[in-house]
C-alpha cells in the first residue's frame, strides 16, 4: 500500500474534524492507508458526532419473488433461466404467507427484489405492491432496483417517471440501492454489459429523487474493481446527492464469489469490510446513514463496522436468498431481540427505525 504524501494525513484529519469535504485524492489515500485503525477512528468521529452511541435497526424481511432472469451478470449466483434447475417463482399466495410473519410488527419493511422475469407483464408488479399494501397497510414497501424499474418501463412502454408514479400509487415506499455494482464504464463492460450501465442507474435514482421517492445506494465491492474506481463510484453518488438529497443511506456490499463465474476470486477480509464502511462515511458527507449489512459482511464484521462509521445495522431480514445462493454462510434472519442484544453487546444503543429512518422507540 502507498503511504500518504507529507502533510496529507494531518490535512485529512483536520478536514474531518472541521466537517469539510474530502477530495478524490484524499479518498484514494484513505483506501491505501496502512493504518486502518486511524481511518476507522476518523469515520467513527463523524458517526459519533451525529449519532453518539445510537445504532438504528429495522424489523424487515426480504421477498425475492422470482430468480428467473433474462440476463446473466458475471457476479450473480441468484439468477436462473427457465430450463435451469433451481429456478423459482413465488405465487402471490405464497408471498402473503411468508410476509405474515410481520403481521404484528409495527411499521416493518418488506424489501422486494427479483430477476428480470422473462414472462411477467408490467401489471404484475403494481398488483403485487397493492396486495401487500392492502394486507399490511403499515409496512414500508422498499421495492425494485433501478434495473427492475428500467425493465418495467420497457415492459409497460412508458417512461421511468410514469412507472415510478404508478408504482407509488400502488404502494411503493422507496427504492433499494441494488444494481449500482461499481459505477464505472470499465466494470460495466467487463461484468454486466447487457444490463443497464452507471449513467442510467444514476439517472433513474435522480428521477426518483425528483419525484420525492427516496432511494438507497450500494456498491458491490471485492471483485475486479480498483481503489480509483471505488472512489469514482463514491464521488458520483455524492454528486447526485448534492442535487436532490434523495438518498437515505449508503450500503457497501461485499461480493460473494461462490457459485458465480468469478468463483476463483477470494472473499474479501473483515478489514476490507470495515474500510469500505469507513470510506463511505468519510467521502459521503451528504449522506445521513451508512449501513452495516450483516448478511453480506458477516455478523462479526458488521459489529465492528459500528466503530468504523456505520450507524445502522440491517436488520432482522428474514429469508434473504440472493446472497445465500452465492455461498454466504450467515443466518437467513435474526429475531429482533437477538439483533438488539448484538448491538448492545458491541457497546452501542439499539434504536428501532422504520423504512424512512424515522425513530420508532
Ligand atoms: S444481477 Fe440481477 S439482472 Fe443480473 S443476472 Fe442477477 S438477477 Fe439478473
Q: What is the pLDDT of residue 331?
A: 64
What single string gives the DSSP state of each residue in 138-187? T-EEEE--HHHHHHHHHHHTS-HHHHHHHHHHTTEEEB--TT-SS-SHHH
- Counting from 1 in the atom list of ligand 1, the atom nearest the Cα of 69 is 8
Q: Rounded to an integer, what distance in angstroms lies between the CA atom of residue 151 and that of residue 189?
A: 19
Residue 190 Cα to ligand 1 midpoint, Å, equals 15
The domains located in the chain, with CATH, are 52-352 (3.20.20.70)
Residue 84 Cα to ligand 1 midpoint, Å, equals 15
Q: Rounded to an integer, what distance in angstroms lies between the CA atom of residue 35 and that of residue 50?
A: 24
Tell me the per-residue pLDDT of 220-273, one tens digit each, with 9 for 90 and over.
Answer: 999 999 999 999 999 999 999 999 999 999 999 999 999 899 999 999 999 999
Residue 307 Cα to ligand 1 midpoint, Å, equals 32
Instruction: Judge if the beta carbon of residue 78 lies within 6 A of ligand 1.
Output: yes
Residue nearest to atom 4 of ligand 1 (CA): 73
Nearest to 173 by CA among 225, 133, 200: 133
| Residue in this structure with the C-alpha cell 452465492, named with its chain if needed | 326
Q: What is the pLDDT of residue 130?
A: 98
- Counting from 1 in the atom list of ligand 1, the atom nearest the Cα of 75 is 1
pLDDT-derived band at 208, boundaries 50, 70, 90: very high
**Per-residue pLDDT at 82 exceeds 80:** yes
pLDDT-derived band at 1, boundaries 50, 70, 90: low
Nearest to 195 by CA among 13, 21, 62, 73: 73
**Per-residue pLDDT at 316 exceeds 90:** no
Average pLDDT in the chain? 94
Residue 49 Cα to ligand 1 midpoint, Å, equals 38
Residue 115 Cα to ligand 1 midpoint, Å, equals 6
What's the pTM value of the predicted model, to 2 decimals?
Answer: 0.95
Contact yes or no for 335/60 (Cβ under 8 A): no
Q: What is the pLDDT of residue 322?
A: 62
Residue 108: DSSP 8-state: -
Instruction: Judge if the beta carbon of residue 115 lies within 6 A of ligand 1.
Output: yes
Contacts of 101 (CB under 8 A, 6+ apart): 61, 318
Instruction: Judge if the beta carbon of residue 116 lies within 6 A of ligand 1.
Output: yes
Tell me the per-residue pLDDT of 36-55, one tens digit each, with 9 for 90 and over.
Answer: 999 999 999 999 999 999 99
Instruction: Compute CA 338 distance to the chain's CA centroid, rounded to the nearest angstrom.
Output: 22
Q: What is the pLDDT of residue 103?
A: 84
Instruction: Judge if the beta carbon of residue 113 lies within 6 A of ligand 1.
Output: no
How far is residue 110 from each of residues 137, 294, 344, measured CA to CA in Å?
11, 17, 25
Q: What is the pLDDT of residue 138?
A: 92
Provide the β-strand partners of residue 54: 349
Q: Rounded to an integer, what distance in angstroms lies between the CA atom of residue 36 and that of residue 274?
A: 9
**Per-residue pLDDT at 9 exceeds 90:** yes
Q: Rounded to an integer, what distance in angstroms lies between the CA atom of residue 133 and that of residue 143?
A: 12
| Residue in this structure with the C-alpha cell 427457465, named with its chain if needed | 82
Residue 346 Cα to ligand 1 midpoint, Å, equals 35
Tell me the per-residue pLDDT of 317-348, one tens digit each, with 9 for 90 and over.
Answer: 776 666 666 666 666 678 889 999 999 999 99
Provide the β-strand partners of residue 254: 221
pLDDT-derived band at 4, boundaries 50, 70, 90: confident
Residue 233 Cα to ligand 1 midpoint, Å, equals 20
Q: What is the pLDDT of residue 318?
A: 73
As given in the structure block, the three cell numbers for residue 95 are 408471498
Residue 351: φ, ψ to 5°: -135, 125
**Per-residue pLDDT at 5 exceeds 90:** no
Provide the β-strand partners of residue 140: 109
Surface-to-core class of residue 276, CB atoms within 10 Å of its CB (0-12 exposed, 13-18 middle, 19+ buried): buried
Q: What is the mean pLDDT of residues 26-33?
A: 97
Instruction: Judge if the beta carbon of residue 79 lies within 6 A of ligand 1.
Output: yes
Instruction: Judge if the beta carbon of residue 73 lies within 6 A of ligand 1.
Output: yes
Amino acid at each position: 500500500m502507498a503511504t500518504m504524501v507529507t502533510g496529507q494525513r494531518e490535512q485529512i484529519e483536520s478536514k474531518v474534524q472541521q466537517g469539510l469535504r474530502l477530495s478524490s485524492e484524499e479518498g484514494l489515500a484513505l483506501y491505501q492507508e496502512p493504518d486502518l485503525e486511524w481511518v476507522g477512528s476518523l469515520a467513527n468521529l463523524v458517526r459519533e458526532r451525529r449519532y453518539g452511541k445510537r445504532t438504528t435497526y429495522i424489523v424487515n424481511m426480504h421477498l425475492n419473488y422470482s430468480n428467473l432472469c433474462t440476463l446473466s451478470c458475471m457476479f450473480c449466483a441468484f439468477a436462473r433461466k427457465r430450463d435451469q434447475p433451481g429456478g423459482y417463482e413465488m405465487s402471490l399466495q405464497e408471498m402473503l404467507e411468508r410476509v405474515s410473519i410481520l403481521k404484528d410488527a409495527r411499521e416493518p419493511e418488506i424489501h422486494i427484489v427479483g430477476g428480470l422475469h422473462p414472462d411477467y407483464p408490467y401489471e404484475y408488479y403494481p398488483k403485487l405492491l397493492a396486495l401487500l399494501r392492502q394486507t399490511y397497510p403499515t409496512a414500508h414497501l422498499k421495492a425494485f432496483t433501478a434495473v427492475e424499474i428500467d425493465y418495467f418501463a420497457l415492459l409497460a412502454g412508458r417512461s421511468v417517471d410514469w412507472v415510478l408514479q404508478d408504482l407509488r400509487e400502488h404502494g411503493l415506499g422507496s427504492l433499494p440501492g441494488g444494481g449500482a455494482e461499481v459505477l464505472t464504464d470499465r466494470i460495466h463492460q467487463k461484468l454486466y454489459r447487457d444490463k443497464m450501465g452507471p449513467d442510467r442507474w444514476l439517472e433513474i435514482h435522480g428521477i426518483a429523487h425528483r419525484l420525492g421517492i427516496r432511494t438507497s445506494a450500494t456498491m458491490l465491492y471485492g471483485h475486479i474493481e480498483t481503489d480509483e474506481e471505488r472512489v469514482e463510484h463514491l464521488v458520483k453518488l455524492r454528486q447526485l446527492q448534492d442535487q436532490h438529497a434523495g438518498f437515505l443511506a449508503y450500503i457497501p456490499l461485499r461480493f460473494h464469489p461462490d457459485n458465480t463465474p468469478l468463483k476463483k476470486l477470494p472473499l474479501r477480509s473483515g478489514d476490507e469490510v470495515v474500510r469500505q464502511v469507513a470510506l463511505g462515511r468519510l467521502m459521503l458527507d451528504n449522506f445521513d446513514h451508512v449501513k452495516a449489512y450483516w448478511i453480506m459482511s458477516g455478523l462479526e464484521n458488521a459489529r465492528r463496522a459500528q466503530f468504523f462509521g456505520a450507524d445502522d445495522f440491517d436488520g432482522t431480514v428474514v429469508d434473504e436468498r440472493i446472497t445465500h445462493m452465492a455461498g454466504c454462510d450467515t443466518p437467513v434472519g435474526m429475531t429482533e431481540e437477538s439483533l438488539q442484544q448484538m448491538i448492545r453487546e458491541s457497546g452501542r444503543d439499539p434504536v428501532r427505525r422504520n423504512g424512512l429512518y424515522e425513530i420508532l422507540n
